[in-house]
Amino acid sequence: MTTPILTLGELAESQASKYITINTALRKIEAVTIRVLSQANSGPPVGPSDGDAYIVDVQSGAWSAFAIDSIAYYSNTSWYEMVPKSGFRTWIVDENALYVYSSASWQLLVGL
């Protein structure tokens, strides 16, 4: 089972390797609650660093199966997708701005 909003894996009774479930959840939380580097990137960057996160603007390469406007985050040599829900907020580093996901797109929060 997973949590309803962030779809974090829940621990099961007598589960082996609990640390994998916990570590995966921590990385997912970190990727979507702190910041993304850009929302205008034309696909996955070459040579990403562990912990990098982006808003998907083009379905290509490692992001070819990811939805446009989802968050792609890089962890342990792989890309993962987080599909945003209304109310998700993130700081977009290259714009120096806070955005909120509303219904079907990311919107700039103004009046901060």
Residue 14: count of CB within 10 angstroms of its CB: 6
Buried-exposed string 20-46: b where 16+ CB fall within 10 A, e elsewhere: eeeeebebbeebbeeebbbbebebbee
If we measure between CA atoms, which residue out of 26, 32, 57, 60 comes closest to residue 46?
Answer: 60
pLDDT bin (cut points 50, 70, 90) of residue 20 is: confident
22 CB-side CA count, 13 A? 5
pLDDT of residue 96: 94
- The string of pLDDT tens digits covering residues 34-77 is 789 999 999 999 999 988 999 999 999 999 999 999 999 998 89
Question: Model's pTM, two decimal places?
Answer: 0.78
pLDDT of residue 111: 61
> In angstroms, rounded to a whole number, what is the distance separating the alpha carbons of residues 98 and 89?
7
- The string of pLDDT tens digits covering residues 79-100 is 999 888 898 889 999 999 999 9
